Amino acid sequence: MTDASSVGFVAIGRNEGGRFKACLEALLSVGERVVYVDSGSHDDSVEFAQGKGANVVELTTDIPFTAARARNAGFDALIAKWPDTERVMFIDGDCILCDGFVASANRHLEKNQDTAIVTGRCRERFPEATIYNRLCEIEWNGPIGEISACGGIFLVRTKNFKSVGGFNPTIIAAEDDDFCVRVREDGSRILRIDADMCLHDADIHHFRQWWQRMVRAGHAFAQLGEIHPGYFKAQRRRAWGWGFFLPVLSLLLVPMTWGLSLLLLFLYPLSLFRTRSGLIAAGIAAQHATLAALFMTLSKFPNLKGIIDYRVKKLKRRNIGIVEYK
- Summarize pLDDT for 191-246 with one digit per residue, the tens: 999 999 999 999 999 999 999 999 999 999 999 999 999 999 999 999 999 999 99
Q: Give the model's confidence band at 318: pLDDT under 50 very low, under 70 low, under 90 confident, else very high.
A: confident
Give per-residue pLDDT as tens, 27-48.
999 999 999 999 988 999 999 9
Q: Give the model's confidence band at 2: pLDDT under 50 very low, under 70 low, under 90 confident, else very high.
A: low
Q: Give the Cα-Cα-Cα angle 55, 58, 61 (nearest 5 degrees).
A: 170
What are the beta bridge partners of residue 115?
A: 189
What are the beta bridge partners of residue 55?
A: 35
Would you say residue 171 has pLDDT above 60? Answer: yes
Model pTM score: 0.91
Would you say residue 3 has pLDDT above 60? Answer: no
Rg (CA), the chain: 21
Residues of the chain with CATH 3.90.550.10: 4-200
* Sign, Cα dihedral of 272, 122, 136, 69: negative
- Domain 4-200: what homologous superfamily? Spore Coat Polysaccharide Biosynthesis Protein SpsA; Chain A (3.90.550.10)
What are the beta bridge partners of residue 11?
A: 36, 91
Q: What pLDDT was estimated at residue 4?
A: 60
Would you say residue 5 has pLDDT above 80? Answer: no
Give per-residue pLDDT as tens, 262-311.
999 999 999 999 999 999 998 888 989 999 999 999 999 999 999 999 99
CA distance 198 to 201: 10
Would you say residue 79 has pLDDT above 60? Answer: yes
* Inter-residue contact 188 to 115 (CB < 8 Å): yes
Considering only 109-113, 142-146, 161-165, 316-320, which range has the smallest mean pLDDT?
316-320
Q: Quick one: average pLDDT of 12-26?
A: 92
Q: Give the model's confidence band at 159: pLDDT under 50 very low, under 70 low, under 90 confident, else very high.
A: very high
* Inter-residue contact 90 to 156 (CB < 8 Å): yes
DSSP state for residue 98 in the 8-state scheme: P
Would you say residue 1 has pLDDT above 80? Answer: no
Mean pLDDT of the chain: 93
Q: Quick one: average pLDDT of 88-111?
A: 96
